Amino acid sequence: MHERARQHFDGFFRHLGDERRLSPLTLTHYRRDLSRCMTYCDGVGIADWERLTAAEVRGWVSALHQRGLSSKSIQRALSALRTFYRYLLREQTVTRNPASGVIAPKSTRRLPATLTADQAARLVALEARDPLAARDRALLELLYSSGLRLSELVNLNIPELDLSAGSVRVTGKGRKVRDVPVGTKAREALRAWFAVRTQFAGADEPAVFVTRNGRRLGGRAVQARLRWRAKQQGMEVPVHPHMLRHSFASHVLESSGDLRAVQEMLGHANISTTQIYTHLDFQHLAGVYDKAHPRARKKTTT
């Protein structure tokens, strides 16, 4: 990479980290996606980032597609390049964004897997026979009750929970803060966990969920505990933390029909992200219709 291009990149990532306050994981994704573009440009002899054209960006997208990258991965990489050029425009380094008019291949949108209400109830009906079981039940209840992301759950600190008011203050993507309701069952489970949490954690540990050694519980540990507890509870489907978030959103939407409220609780910046749950709701309605309506399906004749 030329020295001038390296200065642009260093400034861009300072902008993402210091000004936009994006997470380290998001910064890693940006670096990977822009590195893909740099590798392509080097391979075809494009040395000047300031003169990159839309046709060259389309060539890069085509190359990614030919390599077998998924449409979602290509869309994310193209978004990273657009963001980089928006930064360069702001710094008056370039006069146009060559990625702005380039469209990534369309992807078939997969509907997220969810649990039924009965399955979710069975999963969280965990007997708190020991302190670790009390912890696991509390985190399961909170995931399903409030639709938290895994990162939001593991980064949660005690002062951010208000059990008397039934709310939790969550710091989500882009450091955006939102208040989310906490249901009665989740509050009961959290109180039971807090009653035994002192067996593991010292008074100076702010994390809501800790390991047996008193340190903050990590994301991989939560995933592993959830898989194990799901097997214990006789679940027939593989369960992961995001499935509980999807189940929360789907079940609230089915009962309320309030898409805006679900958007706020999930912390989605754009309601189009939340609208996928309307498709899940329609699937449920279509299933009921097919089973119940006398003229829903054609009768087979022999």
Q: Structurally, how many domains does the chain consist of? A: 2
The per-residue pLDDT for range 110-137, each reduced to its tens digit, is 667 888 888 888 988 888 889 999 999 9
The yes-or-no answer on residue 245 being catalytic is yes
Share of the chain above pLDDT 70, in %: 86
Spacing of C-alpha 235 from chain mean position: 23
170 and 133 Cβ atoms separated by less than 8 Å: no
The yes-or-no answer on residue 268 being catalytic is yes
> 243 and 131 in one domain?
yes
| Residue of 187, 197, 225, 245 marked active site | 245
| Residue of 76, 82, 242, 284 marked active site | 242
163 and 123 Cβ atoms separated by less than 8 Å: no
Per the structure block, which two tokens stand in for 55?
A: 């046709």
88 and 8 Cβ atoms separated by less than 8 Å: yes
Give the range of the structural domain holding residue 180, as residue numbers without chain letter.
Answer: 117-289
> 277 and 149 in one domain?
yes
The yes-or-no answer on residue 277 being catalytic is yes
| Highest mean pLDDT pick, 226-235, 261-270, 291-300 | 226-235
Tell me the DSSP string of 181-209.
E--HHHHHHHHHHHHHHTTT--TT--BSS
> Distance between CA 16 and CA 9 in Å, rounded?
11
> 161 and 82 in one domain?
no
> 130 and 40 in one domain?
no
Q: Is residue 163 part of a domain?
A: yes
Predicted local confidence at residue 302, as pLDDT:
42
Question: In the Cβ-directed half-sphere of 70, how many Cα atoms lie within 13 Å?
Answer: 7
> Distance between CA 60 and CA 74 in Å, rounded?
10
| Residue of 149, 187, 246, 251 marked active site | 149
CATH assignment at residue 202? 1.10.443.10
> 133 and 65 in one domain?
no
| Residue of 76, 86, 268, 284 marked active site | 268
Give ∠ CA 247-151-34 in degrees, rounded to 5. Answer: 110
The burial of 287, by beta-carbon neighbours within 10 Å (0-12 exposed, 13-18 middle, 19 or more buried), is given as exposed
CATH assignment at residue 16? 1.10.150.130
> 261 and 195 in one domain?
yes
> 226 and 174 in one domain?
yes
Nearest to 139 by CA among 52, 217, 24: 217
**With a threshold of 0.85, does the pTM exceed it?**
no
Strands in 177-181's sheet, in edge-to-edge order, are 161-162, 167-171, 177-181
Predicted local confidence at residue 301, as pLDDT:
46
Phi, psi of 142 (to 5 degrees): -70, -40
The yes-or-no answer on residue 8 being catalytic is no
The per-residue pLDDT for range 17-70, each reduced to its tens digit, is 988 888 888 899 999 999 888 888 888 887 777 778 899 999 998 888 888 888
In Å, how far are 9, 144, 153, 279 from 141, measured between CA atoms?
43, 5, 11, 25
